[in-house]
Amino acid sequence: MPTQHGQLYVVATPIGNLADFSIRAIETLQQVDLICAEDTRHARALLQHHGITTHCIALHQHNEQQKAAGLIQQIQQGTSIAIISDAGTPLISDPGMPVVALAQNAGIKVSPIPGACALIAALSASGLAVTQFTFLGFLPRTSNARTSLFEEQKNNTSTWIFYESCHRIDACLKDLASVFPASHEIAIGREITKLHETIIKSSIQEMLTLFAQDSNMQRGELVVMVSGSKIEKKPESLSDQQLNTLKTLLSECSIKTAVKLATEITGARKKLLYQTALELSDTQK
């Protein structure tokens, strides 16, 4: 595979259903010189299932800073390397960032091999707005830190998503309910692509009730999606000073002239000044 030597591949792996492993991903892992896996024991089962015998080493959050420079040196010497995580797309709340960042800085070609991603899979089936969204990764473990983060999202008008463990989901939802209205719409996906896959959209209060009544909902890894806040825009209006200036000009000039001068003097929007001038003119008739 001489044309692929000296490259870094970011390879997505299944998040539950082995059939979601692409042919291109399998071929890439068969042909590279080295695979960097988040957990070699976990990766071994997947690699053996597909007959992949490429040498595999561990690359995880505890060693990636120390190993990154050495891996880049190997790539520069002609070695092709692939990064995989335990499940899904590497770097999305998974290891790999130091290596990819150094590769880009060194001018090394980094090729993504797309595939499963719990974030995108859950969001696509959630029924929430997806035109814009914010991903927060895994949330802090403490209630105070989570609540502070939720407070920061109160004015976020786009959908925002985070990962949460089954052990903290109940406390997390209660923290969310302490910041947002009980009727605020959210969606939760669990066990995405697996046998007991569940994706539910409801209010925060309904979700809390569901989790309290069904212990199965508190199993597996969860993707929590929160709808964006609806911020009501206040009607635009002139300040007292701008209004007084317009009134003074209207007493001496035509509407057209008064609006033109008021725009230059006050800096207010011409359309707003014109609408206000018409309203003032109507009240004087």
pTM of the model as a whole? 0.78
% residues pLDDT > 70 (the chain): 97
**pLDDT band for position 2 (cuts 50, 70, 90):** very low
Q: Is the pLDDT of residue 153 over 50?
A: yes
Q: How far apart are CA 63 and CA 205, in angstroms?
A: 41
pLDDT digits (tens, 9 = 90+) for 108-129: 999 999 999 999 999 999 999 9
**pLDDT at residue 285, as a whole number:** 57
pLDDT digits (tens, 9 = 90+) for 211-249: 999 888 888 889 999 999 987 777 788 888 988 888 888
Domain residue spans in the chain?
Answer: 2-115, 119-226, 240-283
- Candidates 95, 29, 39; CA nearest to 68 is 95
Look-up of token digits 């692929």: 4
**pLDDT at residue 3, as a whole number:** 46
- Candidates 36, 152, 170, 17; CA nearest to 91 is 36
Look-up of token digits 């609806």: 230
Lowest mean pLDDT among 58-67, 76-85, 211-220: 211-220
Structure tokens at 175: 């923290």
CATH topology of domain 2-115: Cobalt-precorrin-4 Transmethylase; domain 1 (3.40.1010)
CA dihedral 162, 164, 170, 173 (to 10 degrees): -10
> What value, to the nearest 5°, has the Cα angle with vertex 196 and ends 191 and 201?
70
Q: How far apart are CA 112 and CA 99, in angstroms?
A: 13
pLDDT digits (tens, 9 = 90+) for 4-38: 459 999 999 999 999 999 999 999 999 999 999 99
pLDDT digits (tens, 9 = 90+) for 155-199: 999 999 999 998 999 999 999 999 999 999 999 999 999 999 999
Q: Is the pLDDT of residue 1 over 50?
A: no
Cβ atoms 67, 94 nearer than 8 A = no
C-alpha distances in angstroms, 237 versus 5, 246, 270, 274? 63, 13, 12, 12
Per the document, the length of the chain is 285
Any idea which architecture 119-226 has in CATH?
Answer: 2-Layer Sandwich (3.30)
Q: Which residue has the higher pLDDT, 151 or 236?
A: 151
**pLDDT at residue 5, as a whole number:** 59
Q: Which residue has the higher pLDDT, 276 or 113?
A: 113
